[in-house]
A and B are shown apart, each in its own frame.
Chain A
């Protein structure tokens, strides 16, 4: 939000009035309403912060309804999204330095890292909820921020956050003194802090390998034979067999299976399935591999699952029931179900 909005609005009106005589190159002047609609950013000095208010109690209700499915009831989040709350101590509120960030195992959360409360307000307002951005009212954004602040003991449970009290909150932000600007990486003319030299001969006495992938991770990214060209002087290693054994993989066959799986996965992505079902872990609903595990050995599973996707779930896995899916054709539905049950989704 520009400090000079008023001035800009005045000049916009002025320029509009002058249009016939001013040689404008291209484009046109923005109207004040247009600027208001899009100029949503909130700066650390709170320029751009709209008037409004929200309480911790209101925030808690809102959080449970619109935020907790991804971020957890207490901002602890889940396996998919990074935690928002945690790692903040009372001492941090005094020093303005999150002590956890200097430890060997830092707890990186939105509250332990963010130097400014404006950052939280701006981001929730512009992009949350994840699947319905900019659907919260101004007061709801205040309430959500208030709830988060209370979870970190930055504000008490009876706190009301508004455009005035937010300035007091800033003085208690746990990492407000934790940020530095390093010119060497901010601007291209800056100098690096890591200085190496280009030695050409006898540069090291001995070479020791300090880290390599363990053998059990060999195939963790799928068969690498299918991730390079199948002709040429180098090929992808067949990682379905141990290193150094020299066996040749049935590469073409595997490729065909992979492409069927890829098509089904594309369906899952295009149909939005993966928004709620992770490949391995659950998000709102169960993970694809969890479904496969549950129905393993059940001959009737394919028909059962197809019917369930078509008609919608009953909240078997959690509180939130899956809505009916009318999008995929019968054929596509079958491909999806086969893919899920084959366990291929976890690969």
Chain B
């Protein structure tokens, strides 16, 4: 219904502002019946338009229902849910991957999130054999193997220990996996959405290992195992386990969500998600690695020479611009804020650089107020979009000095079939219409 303007960068009008200049002029000239016609057309299924009439903004001049009626009572939404206007931002599957829900992935809508904490209900999901809702009264944690006393803890026991709460990112080792060889998916939800960050609360694993009398002379590895049908299992270096691994029950102030392993999961800061065993029911202390299914057939990186790297656990420094990002449209030229996330499994983010010309020139972005160890870090850079084509990129540098590589640099060393640990610089192409596309740069 709206006429298109040919003004660069203004091709796609905002739904609430999509009357053309000519139509607005008609309204200004006093042809009020025009507006009525426009509203009728809108009620046929198009979002309600609102023209800036001569007298001002209808959002101000007209009474709104929320200001003219009694609101809903307390506890009518007993577990608070987001506004109905936020319904588009949900976890979604990628049709290329999802064939059976029990062995699939649902990606976090990073394109709409702020700050560094992922709402628990939007934390990405990855299950190997479906998710369960375990009864905490019947859940037990056993610690056995090279310990003086193999022990059993109930949830009651675990909540009696002093707890720690730490903010850490959780990224699947296969995040961005679909893009190793070429561009495959349209938005940041699908390119980077196996990524979340939460405040995790629980007991340091070291406290429990000490409580069982770990045999530090013989112990070399820790093994963790889940209680659900997959009985997922993973080997973890002892040094890591004794450092900052948490046996966690809390997530963002409440208990873990069932999709995140309620009532107990391992938190392995900096490691890929598959090490963070959900529904954690057993820890074994051992002196050899276990070579589990997901340490051999999956979550192992195939190299160009046909060898397979096992136990690739560390998530190297990575960043991505979340707004504007692929599959989005910028509504107008002028002032925008480029915003994104950076993280490193080896420590804190030291710096993030942003390029708007495909990597020719870079500017250092400002970091959010929270720059934490092995946590998502928000970065921003104000940007005057002139309406011309642009390619947006971000590049993270972590406190070890490691610099996030280009896709080309990753492929030179690791080929294109390694599936896991793609931490390449992401490129978003902005066209003159304001539409943003996922692309790769040679």
- Is A329 in the interface zone, CB < 8 Å from B? no
Identify the closest chain A residue to B281 (Cβ). A38
- Is A228 in the interface zone, CB < 8 Å from B? yes
- Is A233 in the interface zone, CB < 8 Å from B? yes
Give Cα A244 to B429, complex, Å.
Answer: 13
Number of A-B residue pairs, CB cutoff 8 Å, is 388
B328 engages A228 (CB within 8 Å): yes
State which of A50-58, A179-187, A292-300 sits at the interface with chain B: A179-187
Identify the closest chain A residue to B112 (Cβ). A229
- Is A41 in the interface zone, CB < 8 Å from B? yes
A28 engages B151 (CB within 8 Å): yes
Docked complex: A197-223 residues within 8 A CB-CB of B? 197-204, 207-213, 217-218, 220-222
Could you list 17 examples of A-B contacts with CB < 8 Å? Answer: A2-B146, A24-B149, A41-B290, A41-B292, A102-B306, A106-B417, A113-B296, A114-B296, A127-B129, A185-B301, A188-B270, A211-B182, A221-B94, A221-B186, A228-B89, A248-B12, A253-B45
A30 engages B15 (CB within 8 Å): no
Identify the closest chain A residue to B2 (Cβ). A248
For chain B, which range describes its interface: under 10, 10 to 19, 20 to 34, or 35 or more residues?
35 or more
Mask: chain B, 98-121; 1 = CB below 8 Å from A; 0 = not: 111111000001011000000000
Residues of A within 8 A of B148 (CB): 11
B145 engages A4 (CB within 8 Å): yes
Given contacts A35-B150, A208-B442, whether A221 and B330 have CB atoms under 8 Å apart is: no
- Is A137 in the interface zone, CB < 8 Å from B? no
Docked complex: A155-199 residues within 8 A CB-CB of B? 175, 178-182, 184-190, 192-199
B306 engages A97 (CB within 8 Å): yes
Given contacts A30-B142, A203-B359, A212-B429, whether A101 and B237 have CB atoms under 8 Å apart is: no
* With A30-B150, A195-B405 already in contact, 10 other A-B pairs whose C-beta atoms are closer than 8 Å: A30-B143, A115-B291, A118-B291, A119-B295, A187-B240, A198-B353, A228-B328, A233-B324, A235-B331, A239-B186
Mask: chain A, 97-123; 1 = CB below 8 Å from B; 0 = not: 111111100101010011110110011
Residues of B within 8 A of A44 (CB): 288-291
Identify the closest chain A residue to B431 (Cβ). A244
B314 engages A184 (CB within 8 Å): yes
Residues of A within 8 A of B201 (CB): none
- Is A280 in the interface zone, CB < 8 Å from B? yes
Give Cα A259 to B289, complex, Å.
Answer: 47
Which listed residue (B98, B323, B327) contacts A227, Cβ 8 A? B327
Give the Cβ gap from A57 to chain B, nearest Cβ, in Å.
Answer: 26
Q: Which residues of B contact A (CB under 8 A)?
A: 1-2, 4, 11-16, 18, 45-47, 85-89, 92, 94-96, 98-103, 109, 111-112, 128-129, 142-154, 157-158, 160-161, 182-187, 189-190, 211, 223, 225, 229-231, 233, 237, 239-240, 270, 281-282, 284-293, 295-297, 300-314, 316, 323-324, 327-332, 336, 345-347, 351, 353, 357-362, 391, 395, 397, 402-406, 409-410, 412-414, 417, 421, 427, 429, 431, 433, 435-442
State which of A145-153, A271-279, A319-327 sits at the interface with chain B: A271-279
A27 engages B152 (CB within 8 Å): yes
Identify the closest chain B residue to A16 (Cβ). B149
Give Cα A47 to B287, complex, Å.
Answer: 11
Residues of B within 8 A of A209 (CB): 391, 427, 429, 439-442
Give the Cβ gap from B345 to chain A, nearest Cβ, in Å.
Answer: 6
A237 engages B327 (CB within 8 Å): yes
Given contacts A192-B316, A269-B101, whether A210 and B440 have CB atoms under 8 Å apart is: yes
Docked complex: A10-41 residues within 8 A CB-CB of B? 11-12, 15, 24-30, 34-35, 38-41
